[in-house]
Amino acid sequence: MECGIIGLQGVGKTTLFTALTAHKVAVQIGSMKPNMGIASIPDPRLTKITEFIVAQKVIPATLQVVDLPGVPSGGSNLNTVLAHIRNVDALCQVVKCYDDCDPAADISSMDSELIVADMVVVEGAIDKASRTAKHGDKDAQKRVDVLSRVNTLLEEEKPAREGAWDVSDKAILKSYGIMTSKPMLYVANVSEDDVNGGSNAAKYVATYAQENAGKSVAVCATLESEISELDKDDQAEMLGSMGIREPAVGPLARALNTLLGLSTFYTAGEKEIRAWPIPKDAPAPQAAGVIHSDIERGFIRAECYHVDDLFSLSSEKAIKEAGKLRSEGKNYTMQDGDVVNFLFNV
């Protein structure tokens, strides 16, 4: 799963990328090449598990992020940028909300670019699929139906994500790289004195996101980038002095995780405590496969309990005694927050 950071030029995309990836990637500023990196997903539940289970290592879940070049309005590089946007699974649109800014105009110009580009793809695709459908091809007819519904939305200047799509519709949208169907997180890039997003600019972004089937967070990218460079102690001190509970990268990464339709399960042993992202409602063997394909192939059963049981009962022994340690088979649907030990045989 990959998330693309998009937006107009110079709005703070690369700065946000350095914050999300904690400066582990050397970035190219203002280049036409995307920066790629891995963001850890800060997880309060993972931290809390370590209060009850002692392990040598703690490994958070991660998310792949791609920092894309700014969208030049009408520039010749537009197609290169759009090609990158078509390939990612979710979008994170940075909107400038500090200094002199006009978030309404910026969002409108960015989203219009995506809508217009989708229209070009959809119109061509409808023509082609219609010709095949004429010969009685059922799949082609289905594609025509879905694409026509997308077209109706786009003509009303609405993103495709506003439509009600089932799993097979979504697969079609993905295969055509329909950008406005991808989940969108609007990031209001606020100034240092507006970290809670109280300014009119930030409020505009929040309302717009709500009205356009998106989500939003307020982040001060420069501040977050500085925070992410500090070691843990200095970080805590800086956050405390500013009255901030956690770096905004936390809520941001978790919002992206939710938008991508992911949930989290944990493994917790002496060697390591680790958070794993999986598609929501994945069956147990699929979750096992995220750890290793052998565990999926040789899946016997999952021994699991919920993190909340650990937090209330304090130890795995107590969980067992309370009868809360479950043994689940291959048809079990994973629940967000399960702590699991997979038994397998290969």
Ligand X SMILES: Nc1nc2c(ncn2[C@@H]2O[C@H](COP(=O)(O)OP(=O)(O)OP(=O)(O)O)[C@@H](O)[C@H]2O)c(=O)[nH]1
Q: Is 13 in the site for Mg ion (CB under 5 A)?
A: yes
* Min separation Cβ 237 and Mg ion, Å: 30
* Min separation Cβ 223 and ligand X, Å: 7
Q: Tokens 């600019």 sit at which residue?
A: 201
Kindly identify the residues of this chain, within the stretch 201-230, that bind ligand X according to CB under 6 A.
220-222
- Contact partner, 97, from Mg ion, ligand X, none, Cβ < 5-8 Å per class: none
Binding mask 326-345 for ligand X (x = CB under 6 A): --------------------
Binding mask 14-33 for Mg ion (x = CB under 5 A): x-------------------
CB nearer to ligand X: pick between 15 and 199: 15
Kindly identify the residues of this chain, within the stretch 56-95, that bind Mg ion according to CB under 5 A.
none
Assess contact for 195 and 221: CB atoms under 8 A: no
- Contact partner, 11, from ligand X, Mg ion, none, Cβ < 5-8 Å per class: ligand X
The token duo for 136 is 């009685």
CB nearer to Mg ion: pick between 13 and 254: 13
Assess contact for 273 and 49: CB atoms under 8 A: yes
* Min separation Cβ 7 and ligand X, Å: 6
Q: Which residues bind Mg ion (CB under 5 A)?
A: 13-14
Q: Which residues bind ligand X (CB under 6 A)?
A: 7, 9-15, 29-30, 69-70, 98-99, 189, 191, 220-222
